[in-house]
Structure 1
């Protein structure tokens, strides 16, 4: 698993480095860099106690059919058919303050 993690980090570092060095460089799509192995590693990095997203699917539920889910996601990404759901904003009260963030 560590080797996969290093590959993912290396890939992301190369993208960041290219963006820093080449001001004129514009990324139009990074979907072609996403593959099942990379997404599997990202899934493993999710916290076990992370809240479900706007789709109400927990990490445990998604992981029950991880291979199928990742395969479908990679297919959508490569066909450019993936449309992310909007972000659900949640305000959390801060101790000692009336503010929420």
Structure 2
């Protein structure tokens, strides 16, 4: 039985990308949520994440700060919010299957 790979091929991140991602996550969690957004030039988004981090910390404590920082990191490293990684993909997000058109 032969199986075919349906996942798209994605290359592994380089060492410099891994180091940059490590710095981003530390900055988002230890300094200010949204730090990685600001470094990438998305200042407006970074400021909003920073304010949201302070608000979440005031309401939920350190868990709110960490959750906001993780979402900011997720958005900067993959382009998706944290909850988008945890939910099932929509039908229109899946790649089209090769075959005969109907």
What is the TM-score normalised by the length of structure 1? 0.29
Larger relative contact order (Cα-Cα within 8 Å, sequence gap ≥ 6): 1
When you count helix as a share of all residues, which structure comes out higher? Answer: 2
What is the TM-score normalised by the length of structure 2? 0.29
